[in-house]
Structure 1
Amino acid sequence: MKGTSILLAGLSTFAAAAHAQSSVTLYGVADTNIEYVSHLGTQTPTPGNGFNAGAAGSAFRLTSGGLSGSRWGLRGVEELGNGLKAIYVLENGFGLDDGKLQQGGRLFGRQAFVGLESASLGKVTFGRQYTTLFSALANFSPTAYAGQYEPVVAQLGLNVRSDNTAKYTGTFGPMTAIAHWSFGNGVAGNGEVPGQFRRDTGYGAALAYASGAFGATVAYDQFNPTLTAGGSTGTFKKAAVAASYAVGPARIMGGYRWGQNKDAAGATLLRDDYYWVGVNYQVTAALALTIAYYYDDVKNLGGINIKNPWQALFVADYSLSKRTDLYLSTAYAKNAGLNFDTSAISFANGYFPGNGKDNMLGVALGIRHIF
């Protein structure tokens, strides 16, 4: 009887230790706002309707994801010993205004990956993940990639999340190295087609430096999307540099992104130089302000001459607690809709100016809860 008690006690201790070495975290963001938009078109411009956005009008609406995309996710870690961990993330995106799935109706459309992480060597992950360019520039985004009024797609491309991707991230002192390879991103085509290895592939690499008040990064991204039903692929290249510096309660940041998109025959579809600058200012412990300016110098758009789009942004964010905040976001875009929609660069965000309009104003009052 005594031996049995000792055995049971030993098994209980082992089970408790095993349980302590693993963890699963449920997390998420619920973000919604009431928005006013000027000069908004009545329909989405498409090749089928001749890129006609319809008549212009003002819109008052409830929208989801002002400062952060609404989401919920599971993050898991298992300690394997000797500084090695198994890790995974499953992250769902949803519209808080209507409860619908985002990212094309995917269950875990924001992120879905598994991998290994070493305390000394870095981590390798496999699945649907953010590209290297996205990760490298995240700390130099004035609004931390707020989807409502920051031109993220124009800056990074439609492949900001990449399917079928292997990614490496390693931090060594003040330096961080990032690289990824996608076997086939389904954003433009099918990806991973037998006999067509290049189709929808993508890759990138970056180095980032952070020490004290100063940070900087340099990054490269290439995406080879399907452009025709026959499977011909383009070559979309982007390279970027960015830096930031903290002075007291203020943090100043800015960057430059070079871009070149070519079709299968090597003809230029788009060649542009994209610039941004911004300031984060912590007025009090509860109140933070952000101002930013974005400009896209379009050198070549398939032989079409367009006026260069620019956008100014202002955000006031007030924290009610560590998890809940109220915010005011406003932006004005010229020669495009907000986030550079209808500039023939994005068409991704739904801010299409109506016929005869070349500018747009957006104002949003919102609440965000982080859990």
Structure 2
Amino acid sequence: MKKNVIATAAFTALASLTASSAFAQSSVTLYGVLDEGIDYTNNAGRGAVWEMASGYAQGSRWGMKGSEDLGGGMKAVFQLENGFDVSSGRLGQGGRMFGRQAYVGLSDGRFGTVTLGRQYDSVVDYLAQTTANGNWAGYLFAHPYDNDNTDNSFRLGNSVKYASPEIAGFQFGGVYSFSNDTNFANNRAYSFGGQYANGGLLIAAAYLQANNPGVGSTGAITANDASFIAGRMRVFGGGINYTFGSATAGFAYTNSNYKDPTGNGYIGIPLAASGVGLNTLKYQNFEVNGKYQFTPAFFIGVQYVYTMENYDASTGSVKPKIHSVGLMADYNLSKRTDVYVQGEYQKVAGDSTHSILDNAFIPGVQAPSSTGNQVVARVALRHKF
């Protein structure tokens, strides 16, 4: 009896140690962001509007991510991230449960990481960090209609992604997103990019192409997830940021080309007047931005974007210009909670397209202005956990 008791105790202790060792090699983290505030827009089609709105400096979300050590320097990784509207509790990203990210993969410190699922493209992964909207400002500071996806308006479904390890400050990667269609090229996408970081310097570049984005419900960029619906989308660009002391200055250039565009997910109406065929819609965005960290708890940031638009329709080609100016101040109440104020002004000038694109529209507001000018201001509280 005594021997049995000793043996049982020893087995229990060994099992406990083994379990502890196994658990020590795996980890799961629960995290989230809640961003809620009040916006004022001077002209949202029918006049001024005050509204409560969620997820501007950062999209409101909660998620889980984790890893398991597989030995030999390799580990399994996963991430599930849900987007939602704090004001109403509704799901974001077209009503998806994990619309922001959902992937599983393998990672090795020597060779890099391969993941499969719903993921960010390389513009978001690399280039967006050199813009104000993709770094510290968010939604309201996006380039017109977020035409280059630096504000992450959509993700790529059915995607396989590779990300290299960091090599002397350099990192690169790419994504291929399947159409899941018998027509292999219908609504597929691919993207690649890279960045170099050294001290306060960050240099990045990326390319993205999608065929028939916004067509159907199972492809790379589905109808309820697309920013532009078009026959083809091409985006490329580069940017640079430099931090010196408490100041950061940045410049980014992006070029977006939409062939046979028919609509936009933000405004939900045709981009051309009735009876007019729109052949191509192009945007070139030139952004300068800066941020100054007055104290560890307080910063002010500013952004200016000059956008050259090329509207090529059956009635002819015109080239309007868009000016966007943004200002933001942020104060941390604690390590996890901050308050911020933002303001954004947009002006559409030059040639007329005789379409809705003549009216100013700042991503995040209810509707385009009834004129070529629009102003929005926001005050908000953000909490991270």
TM-score, with normalisation over the residues of structure 2?
0.82
Tell me if structure 2 keeps the 8 A contact 1:22–1:76: yes
Instruction: Identify unmatched segments of 5+ residues in structure 2.
Output: 220-228, 262-277, 350-354
Aligned to 1:162: 156
Alignment CA distance shift 1:233-1:32 (3 Å): closer
**Percent identity of paired positions between Structure 1 and Structure 2:** 33
Q: Distance in 1 between matches of 2:331 and 2:208?
A: 35
What is the aligned partner in structure 2 of residue 280 from structure 1? 291
Contact map agreement 1:28 1:370 (CA 8 A) in 2: yes
Deviation at 1:248, TM superposition (A): 1.1
**Which residue of the partner structure matches residue 172 of structure 2?**
177
Q: Which amino acid aligns with 1:291?
A: V
Q: The residue matched to 2:43 in structure 1 has which SS? A: strand
2:216 is the alignment partner of 1:202: no
| 2:49 pairs with 1:59 | yes
Change in Cα spacing, 1:314 to 1:201, as seen in structure 2 (3 Å) is same
Asked if the contact 1:159–1:223 (Cα under 8 Å) also holds between the matched residues in 2, the reply is: no
* 1:333 and 2:346 aligned: yes
Pair 1:251–1:342, CA change in 2 (3 A): farther
Per-residue deviation, residues 273-314 of structure 1 (Å, max 9, x unmatched): 111110011011111111001121113443452521121000
Distance 1:201 1:26, change over 3 A: same
Match of 1:135 in 2: 125
Q: Could you list the per-position Cα deviations for residues 145-191 of structure 1 after superposition, in whole angstroms to 9, with x for gaps in the alignment?
A: 6123323722228874110011111122210011000003xxxxxxx
Return the offset for 1:233.
7.4
- The correspondence for 2:102, drawn from 95, 104, 112, is 112
Letter in 2 for 1:180: V
Task: After superposing the two structures, state which structure 1 stretch, 130-139 or 89-98, moved more.
Answer: 130-139
Following TM superposition, by how much is the alpha carbon of 1:332 offset from its aligned partner in structure 2, in angstroms?
0.5
Report the Cα offset of residue 346 of structure 1: 8.3
What is the aligned counterpart of 2:35 among 31, 34, 39? 31
* Deviation of 1:351 (Å): 4.5
Are the structure 2 counterparts of residues 274 and 204 from structure 1 closer, same or farther at C-alpha, using a change threshold of 3 Å?
A: same
Is the alpha carbon distance of 1:96 and 1:159 closer, same or farther for their aligned partners in structure 2, counting shifts above 3 Å?
Answer: closer
Letter in 1 for 2:148: Q
Q: Could you give the per-residue CA deviations for residues 291-349 of structure 1, whole angstroms, max 9, x where no partner exists?
A: 0011211134434525211210000000000000000011101119xxxx953898964
Distance 1:212 1:12 in 2: 45
Matched to 1:163, the amino acid is G
Does the CA-based 8 Å contact 1:65-1:148 persist in structure 2?
A: no
Q: Name the structure 2 match of 1:193.
A: 181
Whole-Å separation in 2 of the counterparts to 1:279 and 1:233: 34
Q: In structure 2, do the counterparts of structure 1 residues 227 and 68 end up closer, same or farther at CA, with 3 Å as the change threshold? A: closer
Instruction: Give the secondary-structure state (helix, strand or coil) at the position aligned to 1:57.
Output: coil
> Structure 1 residues 141 and 97, CA, compared in 2 at 3 Å: closer, same or farther?
same
Distance 1:260 1:149, change over 3 A: closer
CA–CA separation in structure 2 for the residues paired with 1:3 and 1:149: 67
CA distance in 1, matches of 2:239, 2:40: 32
Moved more, 147-156 or 127-136: 147-156
Q: 1-side partners of 2:112 and 2:375: how far apart? A: 44
Relative distance call for 1:354 and 1:148 in structure 2 (3 A) is closer
Pairwise CA distance, 1:251: 0.6
Cα distance, 1:238 vs structure 2: 1.3
CA contact (8 A) 2:346 2:362 kept: no
Do 1:204 and 1:221's aligned partners in 2 also have CA atoms closer than 8 Å?
yes
1:146 alignment counterpart: 138
**Distance in structure 2 (CA, Å) of the matches to 1:261 and 1:244:** 28
Q: 5+ residue gaps in structure 1? A: 42-55, 185-191
TM-score, structure 1 as length reference: 0.85
Displacement after TM superposition at 1:7 (Å): 1.9
1:52-85 Cα shifts (integer Å, max 9, x gaps):
xxxx311011110121111100111111112111
Letter in 1 for 2:48: S
CA distance in 1, matches of 2:176, 2:94: 22
| C-alpha distance in structure 2 between counterparts of 1:31 and 1:353, whole Å | 23
1:252 touches 1:280 (CA, 8 Å); kept in 2? yes
CA distance in 2, matches of 1:95, 1:233: 28
Number of positions where the alignment pairs a residue of Structure 1 with one of Structure 2: 341
- Structure 2 distance, partners of 1:311, 1:362, is 11
Alignment check: 8 A CA contact 2:140 2:363 kept: no
